[in-house]
């Protein structure tokens, strides 16, 4: 598209890089009363539980484009998610999935996982975001809190290489089992990849991968 020749880059951008700035942290009180209610409710609920406090579990609060995002320390991710689900003042009963993001220049925080949560009771939304380094790509699985994250976490593992500790069956979901690498990482080659499906066979049902 831009006249690049003799390269394995099939994106059409020829290595063109456009810097992108991320929104910084936000301080309460926020313009949206629901956002304030979520922060106050979560702070109070964590205090009652006697475990990690809000400031220990949540690194940063970001309100951007009308969306509240809690950047959670990965060790406390399950605790925060369970509290958001179970506390009557919060009641985020539904997880809408899990998505991976790769920031190769964010040393020590290269891999991010984002969980959008929905409260049907209070008609609110919040995003949970956590991070892990490339050198230790482990994040606690939320399948015990929100079983619907099962396949979404598998997809994030498949495409980004995030290892979800405690997941019941963390296997690839779209790429073949023997595929090398994780195709949505920004350091994954954009072109020149040999086709790996040629000659593929489908095993009989009694020899296929089991999930139990």
Q: Which of 125, 129, 174 is nearest to 152 (CA)?
A: 174
Q: How far apart are CA 152 and CA 154, in angstroms?
A: 5
Q: How far apart are CA 10 and CA 69, in angstroms?
A: 34
Domain-by-domain residue ranges, the chain? Answer: 33-188
Q: Which residues pair with 169 in a beta bridge?
A: none
| Distant-in-sequence, close-in-space partners of 145: CB < 8 Å, separation ≥ 6 | 78, 81, 82, 85, 95
DSSP element (H, E) containing 195: none
Q: How far apart are CA 62 and CA 70, in angstroms?
A: 7
pLDDT at 78 over 70: yes
CATH tag for 33-188 (out of 3.30.460.80, 3.30.420.40, 3.40.50.150, 1.10.3720.10): 3.30.460.80
Out of 3-12, 51-60, 196-205, give the one with best mean pLDDT: 51-60
Asked if 154 contacts 127 with a C-beta cutoff of 8 angstroms, the reply is: no
Chain segment 36-61, per-residue pLDDT in tens:
999 999 999 999 999 999 999 999 99
Chain segment 116-175, per-residue pLDDT in tens:
999 999 999 999 999 999 999 999 999 999 999 999 999 999 999 999 999 999 999 999
Residue 29: asked if its preceding bond is cis (omega within 30°), the reply is: yes
136's tokens: 């230790």
């Amino acid at each position: 598209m831009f006249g690049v020749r003799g390269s394995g880059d099939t994106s059409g951008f020829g290595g063109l890089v456009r810097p992108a700035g991320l929104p910084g942290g936000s301080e309460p009180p926020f313009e949206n009363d629901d956002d304030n209610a979520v922060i106050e409710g979560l702070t109070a609920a964590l205090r009652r539980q006697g475990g990690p406090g809000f400031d220990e579990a949540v690194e940063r609060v970001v309100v951007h484009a009308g969306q509240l995002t809690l950047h959670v320390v990965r060790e406390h991710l399950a605790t925060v998610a369970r509290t958001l689900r179970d506390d009557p003042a919060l009641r985020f009963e539904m997880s809408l999935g899990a998505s991976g993001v790769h920031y190769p220049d964010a040393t020590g925080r290269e891999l991010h996982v984002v969980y959008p949560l929905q409260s049907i009771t209070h008609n609110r939304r919040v995003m949970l975001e956590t991070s892990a380094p490339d050198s230790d790509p482990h994040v606690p699985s939320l399948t015990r809190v929100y079983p619907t994250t099962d396949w979404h976490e598998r997809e994030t593992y498949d495409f980004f290489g995030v290892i979800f500790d405690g997941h019941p069956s963390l296997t690839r979901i779209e790429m073949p089992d023997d595929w090398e690498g994780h195709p949505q990482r920004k350091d994954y080659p954009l072109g020149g990849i040999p086709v790996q499906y040629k000659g593929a066979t489908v095993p009989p049902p009694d020899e296929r991968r089991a999930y139990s």
